[in-house]
Amino acid sequence: MLLTLNSPEAESYRRQIRDWLNKSVPEPWLNRSQEMLSSDEELDLKRNWGYSLYEAGYAGLTWPTVFGGQGLGPIEEFIFYEESAKAGAPESLDTLGKYLAGPAIMQYGTDGQKVRFLPPILAGREIWCEGYSEPDGGSDLASASTTALRGRDEDDYLVNGRKIWTSWGHIADRCYLLAKTSRELPHHHNLSVFLFNMRQPNVEVRRIRQITGDATFNEVTFENALATRDELLGVENGGWSLVGLTGPYRRIRFALNGLRQYGQLYALIEQLSNCTRESHLESIANSFQDRLETFRWHLMRLVELQANDREWYGPAAILRLTFSELAQEVTEVGLTAQCTEHDDYWRDRFLHCRSETIAGGTSEIQRNVIATSVLKMPRFGQVVRSPTLDSKSSGE
């Protein structure tokens, strides 16, 4: 496992990845700005990309070898994602399986669950969605009202309720489902996670058309749908701790999200630079390039902190906020670039990026989390004592 990005070994690994990407990224994907892909074609292409990654040994780079992964570290993963961004590679469809369900199963699953679920996730053969948000819950996940209840002496659960903003729910085979398993226990202690089977008749998926015109997320309704005992992850009513993950798996998830965000920013800002060359907006595009480069160095620092078992949560906690607001700024400038050839692109990206400051917890929630979890600031109404700030060190 690499410990630093600037080493001959890291360079050699980078060359290996670059060579593979250069010959493997599908032509139709690279040419899609000239020859548009239909939604179905794009879906197929991304699904196939997942298969290609698996066959080439690039799926689950940081998954332990015992679960079929490569057992590599965050630095190798960083290199892979950075080169993928530069090569314009697509993103596979199985991200929720690889970065959420998979790591959670490794950490909390039974042996049977590991054998049943991990191989198809790694191979891209089963697509997962995330069943967290509910129509009335907003960002307050602990207030879930979807129930998964079982009668006395019964093994299986009946699931009733609704989930919303479920990305890829319409094609998912499984759902990482958070549901209330007790009517009596208090908040946070009444939730469980299920490795829920989406392919059953009592699950209705309604596609939600977004402001972009696409429909990649959904509302999912459960009416007496079945969740078996074997699909319960961890212990009953212990689901809240599975939402955020802990230990090394939480680390992997944070870093990978940052790497995916870098890839998206890279594509946006490269396009903006192309569209604004020799125009009055060129200097603004250059300043975005500098902010992208700063984001890149921040990510590199983060993965080195992780690879060396240093405190990493604070630097990781700012990633989403930084990415989402920068992406929105870039698309706003793109809209005014007067590049007629890419007018459609910028309108689409502008609309698409509205979701970035909402999905996965709004920017306002992100800031609250940084304030309370990283900076240990008090909540409103809480009686406080001044913390002892280590005012002179960076804490690294």
Task: By CB under 8 A, name the binding residues for another protein.
Answer: 3-6, 290-291, 293-295, 297-298, 300-301, 304-305, 308, 310, 314-315, 318, 321-322, 364, 366-368, 370-372, 374-375, 377-382, 384-387, 389, 391-394, 396
Q: Do the Cβ atoms of 291 and 273 come closer than 8 Å? A: no
Q: Do the Cβ atoms of 63 and 72 come closer than 8 Å? A: no
**Residue tagged 């989402």 (tokens):** 324
Q: CA-CA distance, 271 to 33, in Å (whole number)?
A: 11
Nearer to another protein, 65 or 294 (CB): 294
Nearer to another protein, 172 or 316 (CB): 316
Minimum Å distance from CB 153 to another protein? 47
Nearer to another protein, 183 or 379 (CB): 379
Nearer to another protein, 246 or 287 (CB): 287
Here the tokens at position 370 are 């940084």
Q: Helices (DSSP H) in the chain: which residue ranges?
A: 8-24, 27-30, 39-56, 74-87, 95-96, 102-108, 111-123, 240-244, 247-276, 282-307, 313-317, 319-335, 343-353, 363-369
Nearer to another protein, 243 or 305 (CB): 305
Q: CA-CA distance, 31 to 320, in Å (whole number)?
A: 29
Minimum Å distance from CB 280 to another protein? 20
Minimum Å distance from CB 315 to another protein? 5
Minimum Å distance from CB 333 to another protein? 18
Q: Which helix (H) or strand (E) holds 148?
A: strand 147-149
Q: CA-CA distance, 9 to 15, in Å (whole number)?
A: 10
Minimum Å distance from CB 165 to another protein? 23
Nearer to another protein, 135 or 378 (CB): 378
Minimum Å distance from CB 332 to another protein? 19
